[in-house]
Structure 1
């Protein structure tokens, strides 16, 4: 992360007026700001320590992790939740939670980004509005006074035409007087990109269907754009059915969230750029040094040429792997195929290399055919990479076991070696650009493997212990065997 990026990122996160947290997919708080601690009534040390985190906060994080799963597969871009939280001081909060995914420059999910907002007052107002609605005819004067004093913007519309605006609404829309807004269509205020949402909600209201809260991009009378969040309820105005909407300006927190996500992307890009520069600088330095030696001597040194050629090939290898990684792997021609045949072909291909190092590859299949949708060459690349890693990890020979079985509409392939294994820290770092446990590796092979499996709707996991070997588990969704065999 470059200094300016780190400063912007930390400032946006720590100075935010709303609660923010980065949460791992397995439920650990990676980073939180003080606004979240204040909101939840806890200390930073309690939330960041798994053994000290309060049970109520732990339940809240678990709720976020469980509901955020669709975000990882891009089924949703953002998820809005509302969850009750029992504050340590004895009162109950209604928390609005916005969940999105922080992704790296390859668009792979890293962790959840959650924003927390106290919506207790809005919900209390909503409850009060629902109660007041039933007695509206008897208490119109009191209701009018309530609307006038509300700190939130209130608009009453009839089929999208504004009939009433309270003082807070005038301030939100930058209007000088009520006459500027009365009779205006909400279509001219709400941005055209949100018109479909506006129209759909309007139909539901007049069909007596309930709807939840909503976020709109609006245009104020002075040309300023704002993001607003609110809810609407049907009421009776002058004997006619109308809609009352209560809205709050959320522009500041929306901008803060977008700035934070952009900082994360810049940070990831900066780390990758630094890694590429470091990896290519080393062979370039060696080439430059040997070129100077060649110029300073009258005799040709074949050994120098060999080293220069070797370093140039390493640069070419790094660039080729980066090119493979940058290709849109999601764009491939999937077709039904028998995964068992793919794995058998890879084992045949890799057996010669394994034998040269006194290694035996032993497959174990529970079925003769397991059908999936996939691209054969990409899947072969996955299992070649896994077997190659296993072979290179076993300097003393041994056995590589491959177990293939189905479970819950998925096929699982375990590649188990008897090699040097990895520490927990190495496993966590695996997949980062240019992290490798090999002397001549680039760390990009696992990223390529992970991308291919991800684009096949699958997942890959690792279990390893130092000196005890490593097991890679690939999981891919299965399909029903097609009527006609596709060769």
Structure 2
């Protein structure tokens, strides 16, 4: 009879080993251990502890017969403290016939929330001669456990220890891999063989505006990241094995905006080299596109400047004698009234053409005009204040208020521009804003310092600029006004660019426009404001 019982126990043990080997998580391993022990040995409470060697203490991993949250809140056993602490230190199993009668080793009891502990076993979880935890079982009745019970539990504990250690290493590796995935400065998205998204890193969240929770586990073709029917490169890679490298495409943001991206894809395979999914790595190209557009615009303006320089020269050659002749003829007292009117038209139109040539020439060579004071720097706010008398009356007539906010906490703003160039910038911006507002509105100028740069925000509450016009407003001769020359903002752009600065525009129809200008400061002078 005893032999048959032993065979049955071995069969149970073999089955338990098989189930344990198939368990993937620590929770699954713990559950299998408790189930196996329950099938072999009666208990009222079972606890698995893992050892935290950094803190020299035992941490509750899983429990049966007691509330695990209550167990985790209790003061943790130190290695060498209590029964489980002694087992952890000595690497030896302990079996107690009756914990209430034991004098040498005291078992901690919580009569109000836990079952009474009388019969008690604690065995170490050992792998490679290293104790990683403790398994304890107890019963409220005495004299239930003996050496054979310890032997069976020790066998299952050794198998569990190996699986716990493997799981810990896996979690450590996964945590390291997840950290790398979240740290890369490119968006990463991974799909499985069902086209479900299984990875979506922080940069992918930033680019799209979607959180990982909104994306993970969903079929990629059902996500609002592409216009319906457009090519999904990652899906194409999975289906056809075609690899894409630095392909320019787009991805839709949560707001529905098309974000330009550069995407590369690869196939995801398991350890047996079987295809199980696909990976896409993508970079936000928005800033690059803006930079490329700035370079193209600078190249166009440079080419235009060379052309204009020759054109202005050729037009001014015959224009000078025309202006001179008209002035001479107008000064003659014998000139008839009708002839005087005609000569006056010639004179005024030639002067207008000459002024237009000045604007064209300034667009072509802004850095060569009015450079007095630019070398040592001009105080920005003082130069702006000189413009107000020129626009104040026009603003008043149109019921437009002007607000100024100049932050002098880190000194005055000296920039490498002449007073004339500063006047040219802000006069153009003021006149544009007045035209955009029409009647009843506000113009605001805010100047602050960002490191060694002056940051100017010039905004109005005007009609705004259409999105399709925004990228063209700095191009020569481009104007949305019926009588506009399209030179004002081109001149502003060139002056800022040649001073080593940047200009950017933001606008919303019926709400207004903001020009953000960044200019390098050439020196710092402490003070409370312009003199």
TM over 0.5: no
Please give the TM-score of this superposition, normalised by the length of structure 2.
0.37
TM-score with structure 1 length normalisation?
Answer: 0.40
**Which structure would you say has the larger RCO, counting Cα contacts within 8 Å and 6 or more residues apart?**
1
- Bigger Rg over Cα: 2
